[in-house]
Amino acid sequence: MKAIIGTLVVIGTLLGGYLPHGGFAILIQPLEVVIICGGAIGAYIIANPGWVVKAGVTDSLALAKPDPYTTELYMELLGLMFKIFNKARREGLMSIEADVEDPHSSELFNSAPKVAANHHALDFICDYLRLMISGASNPYQLEDLMILELDSHHHEAMMPSAAIGKVAEGLPAFGIVAAVLGIIITMSYLDAGPMEIAHHMSVALVGTFLGILFAYGFVAPISSDLANRAESESAFFGVIKASLMANLNGYAPQVAIEFSRKAIPSKVRPGFGEVDEFLQSQK
């Protein structure tokens, strides 16, 4: 929703400042758009692996939806981890083996549908619980492994943002290309009247305008917002890591969850009392 509002503000203020003095028709130049956007899309495809190209498109479209990493999602995660740790503490680690091996059929994981729907998070939780069940109990080795995996995941999550950012950097140049081509066309009309020449020059300049507008009005903000979403996702995984490490170090389930709560970004972090009351309802 935020992305849609921002786009409307950009378009509204631009037209609101321009239309009292200029005509709208001259701005409608489909062939200029084909040159600018086509060139930028082609360069984007050449420069990036296929999965990055696809992720850049799908993730950009997903920006129309609110950020999924809300207080409610974190509360659901804390409740899930608390239930897992409680069961393992009371019945032994082997008691959660069936849940870990088939989380989609697990009552524990189905109690947190939003977390279970995030397959990356689900795999991360299950993989490390599986290692702990298998006897990998050295906290230092497991933490190093988690850090390595999370660094790799964060790098991959940032790649679509970086790729879209490169498109934003290139769009003004493609706008200049479109303008130069327009001037070349204008040269063939030098024997025409001044109004004809002025029209073709205006069309050429629209290319520069559109390249800059697309770059800084739309594509660069999309790149920045994709980076923000990637940071939100990394913070979510950091909370999972904090809870697993606290449990591995022998803390009681409720204390391990408090470690997790403190790792949640402050803007969505629930209060201690709120989490305590929620956990009491999960017992």
Q: How far is CA 17 from the centre of its chain?
A: 32
Q: What is the pLDDT of residue 283?
A: 64
Contact predicate 211/169, CB 8 Å: no
Q: Cβ of 173: how many Cβ atoms within 10 Å?
A: 15
State the Cα–Cα distance between residues 279 and 145, nearest whole angstrom: 29
Give residue-wise pLDDT tens across range 194-236.
888 888 888 888 889 999 999 999 999 999 999 999 999 999 9
pLDDT tens for each residue of the chain, 283 residues long: 677 888 889 888 888 888 788 778 888 888 999 999 999 999 999 999 999 999 999 999 998 888 899 999 999 999 999 999 999 999 988 999 999 999 999 999 999 999 999 999 999 999 999 999 988 878 889 999 999 999 999 999 999 999 999 999 999 999 999 999 988 888 888 778 788 888 888 888 888 999 999 999 999 999 999 999 999 999 999 999 999 999 999 899 999 999 999 999 999 999 999 988 888 887 6
Residue 25: count other Cβ atoms within 10 Å of its Cβ: 7
Is residue 128 within 8 Å of 244, Cβ to Cβ? Answer: yes
Structure-block tokens of residue 214: 């697309």
Question: Do 78 and 275 contact (CB within 8 A), yes or no?
Answer: yes
Token pair 């066309």 is at which residue?
A: 185
CA 151, CA 230: separation in Å to the nearest integer?
12
Tell me: the pLDDT tens digits for 118-152? 999 999 999 999 999 988 878 889 999 999 999 99
Query: Which residues neighbour 120 within 8 Å (Cβ) at sequence distance 6 or greater?
Result: 153, 233, 237
Q: How far is CA 268 from CA 14, 67, 69, 236, in A?
A: 34, 11, 8, 11
H/E stretch holding 26 = none
Q: Are 197 and 142 in contact (CB under 8 A)?
A: no
pLDDT at 152: 95
What pLDDT does 3 receive?
Answer: 79
At 79 the three-state DSSP class reads helix
CA distance 120 to 117: 9
Q: Give the number of other CB atoms < 10 A from CB of residue 77.
A: 24
What residue spans define the domains of the chain?
A: 2-282
**180 contacts 206 by C-beta, under 8 angstroms:** no
Q: How far from 78 is each of 83, 98, 279, CA to CA, in Å?
A: 9, 20, 8
Terminal-residue alpha carbon distance, the chain: 37
